[in-house]
Amino acid sequence: MKRYLCLALALLICMLFLPLLAGTNLFSKSDGQTPPSTAEEDTFLLLDEADGTVLTVNAYDYLCGAVAAEMPPSFHTEALKAQAVAAYTGAYRKREQQKASPDPALQGAYFTVNTAQKLGYLPKELAQAQWGDSFAAAWERIETAVKEVSGKLLVYEGEPILAVYHSISGGATETAGNYWGNDVPYLQSVESPGDTMAPEYQTQVSFQAADLQSALTTAFPELTLPEDTAAWFGAAQLSPAGTVTSIAVGNATLTGRQIRETLGLRSANFQVLAADGVFTFTVKGYGHGVGMSQYGADYMARQGTKWQDILTHYYKGASILSVEDAGTAASSQATA
């Protein structure tokens, strides 16, 4: 009996200490200071338009840099989490598309960013240089959010969604069909009341008649404008969310998106007033208005809404899955 007890004790010692010798602690727990483990293949290739190089970035570092580039770190942590999931979903979707049908212009990358202009991705070292003394606290907030939602995807009918977002809506987000012309079932108009309290929710920009005429006729060579400047613009047709869907301009009919892009307006939700040869555009919101409103997300978070509910509010009918579950669901659907 004594011999069996000794053998059992020896076996227990081996079970406890062999993993340590192999570099593994069965009972260790994360101290919260290291990023979550990331699958080796979960990396993103980014074409940096700032210098033409292709960056290889793991998912964790990419998400921290994407959130840093796209949303103020002072926003509520739940809003930062929602932004991280939207960014990961978009990057994952683009990666799968490029793997299936590569675009030679991307030089092997999955999508473009511009680190110099802080578009799409801001590396940690650049954030530190730009944010100065506020960097440590800001980056910690971003990392906290990213760790919480690492590997989470938004999916619709088993596929990663087009997780577009914008800064400020006009009080309600826009449907994809009203802005881009193609309807998307999960990109429908929803209320976003917090946007009306965002800084610079409403702005104005004015153009002299000559400058406006030059901009419009350069962009649309077939366009002619009458001598009477007061007759240059007709009545606008608006979507329920306030986007200009069409407006008569001289002998043409243009969309609000066309006007916005030609004149550099903050959004396609605008009114125009002509007086004494000056055209004043009063603009609401900032961005295309489709998908998640970032200021709206921050407002919802400050009212106590969790990141999951923020995302399912703005992306109607979408579900949140881990990347592993999303892959399993896609495989099951493909073989069904």
Q: How far is CA 140 from CA 29, 35, 245, in A?
A: 20, 12, 42
| E strand spans, the chain | 43-48, 53-58, 111-113, 152-156, 159-160, 165-166, 202-208, 233-238, 244-249, 252-254, 270-275, 278-284, 292-293, 319-322
Number of Cβ within 10 Å of residue 322's Cβ equals: 13
Q: Are 159 and 330 in contact (CB under 8 A)?
A: yes
The reported pTM is 0.84
Closest to 237 measured CA to CA, from 248, 226, 249, 227 = 248
Q: What is the pLDDT along the chain (336 residues), one digit of tens a residue?
A: 444 444 444 444 344 443 333 333 322 223 333 344 344 469 999 999 999 999 999 999 999 999 999 999 999 999 999 999 999 999 999 999 999 999 999 999 999 999 999 999 999 999 999 999 999 999 999 999 999 999 999 999 999 999 999 999 999 999 999 999 999 999 999 999 999 999 999 999 999 999 999 999 999 999 999 999 999 999 999 999 999 999 999 999 999 999 999 999 999 999 999 999 999 999 999 999 999 999 999 999 999 999 999 999 999 999 999 988 765 544 444 444
